[in-house]
Amino acid sequence: MISKLPLLTFLIACLALGLQIIHPKTATPPHRETAYERVMRTRTLHCGYALWPVSEEIDPNTKQLKGVVPDFTEALGQKLGLKIEWTEEVVWGQQAEALATGKIDAMCTTDGPYVYTAATVLDYTEPMAYFPEYIYGRENAAPILNIDTLNTLDITFSAIEGDISLAMAMDSFPKAHRLELPGSDDPSLIMVNIVDKKADVTITDPLTIDHFNRNNKKKLKKLYDQPMGVINMSFSVGKGEGDLLQMLNQGFLLLQGLGISDQILNKYDPEHKLFYRPVQRWTDQNPSRAISRAK
């Protein structure tokens, strides 16, 4: 009698092949390089930047970036052994889109978040410092005794898209009018609109106002003594880029611990009036012993 085993084996093999065709194995997607892996491979941090007076601006003579953030970032790169490449200017409010392209690894700028919902799509580093945000108006304007008087249709806030000047005005003064500038406009126009009487007030930081007042005959002044809020001066990275975030945080803390961060901030704010400094995470048990600051 002819054995039926070879035929049975053949049928089973055909059945198995048919099942594989019907239910093919799911292909493993190729590994997508993370921003941290890219930085380590190239030994370069590709930075996005957003222009703002004193914080981050183009030197008209050298055409190079200058300001608080570039000084801090270059010091950070030196300590971490990374080259800093200023890759792309990013319009305020478009940080998430710029990071998603992979052309930049981090937004090396003073990113708050200045648009509150950005915290759902971006992660933020330790702050290099903090910006207190005050209400400013024309030099001859009366001080504000009751903040609620600004929440009326008679008041116009000057603001720019993608910035805290707009987010806070919308949040705290929803009834007031807003004169909104595109995120690509020169930030100084926020203040120009007030001195030109196109708007009444704005919400911004002392560094921005100090720069404007030093460069303009018509000046602005603080109208309300209490800050409307305090905003982090942080870098931002794409959501889920934990390794890169951790590396940057360690670098930020290193610059603070070595005193380098204070040296940079003191260059732009020697009287400690424009920034809030981070609180140190240690206490010297011997007050008479000064901590040596690294150069």
Indicate the pLDDT class of residue 1, thresholds 50, 70 and 90: very low
Note the pLDDT of residue 294: 42
- Residue 44 CA to residue 103 CA, distance in Å, equals 12
Matching fold, domains 35-130+232-268 and 132-229: yes
Residue 45 bridge partners (DSSP): 84
Which whole number is the average pLDDT over 162-174? 93
Letter for the amino acid at 291? I
Nearest alpha-carbon partner for 256 in 291, 221, 218, 213: 291
Do 107 and 245 contact (CB within 8 A), yes or no? Answer: no
**Domain boundaries 132-229, corresponding CATH code:** 3.40.190.10
Note the pLDDT of residue 4: 52
Note the pLDDT of residue 2: 47
Mean per-residue pLDDT over the chain, rounded: 89
Written as six digits, the tokens of 288 are 């008479």
| Percent of the chain clearing pLDDT 90 (strictly above) | 77
Written as six digits, the tokens of 77 are 């790169």
pLDDT digits (tens, 9 = 90+) for 110-120: 988 888 888 99
For the chain, the distance separating the N- and C-terminal CA atoms, rounded to the nearest angstrom, is 95
Q: Is 122 exposed, middle or buried (0-12, 13-18, 19+ CB in 10 A)?
A: buried
Which whole number is the average pLDDT over 99-103? 92
Higher pLDDT: 216 or 13? It is 216
At residue 8, does pLDDT exceed 70? no
Letter for the amino acid at 23? H
At residue 130, does pLDDT exceed 70? yes
pLDDT digits (tens, 9 = 90+) for 184-210: 899 999 999 999 999 999 999 999 999
Q: What is the CATH class of 35-130+232-268? A: alpha beta
Written as six digits, the tokens of 78 are 């030196």
Q: Is 136 exposed, middle or buried (0-12, 13-18, 19+ CB in 10 A)?
A: buried
Q: For the chain, what are the domain ranges? A: 35-130+232-268, 132-229
Note the pLDDT of residue 14: 53
Name the pTM for this structure: 0.83
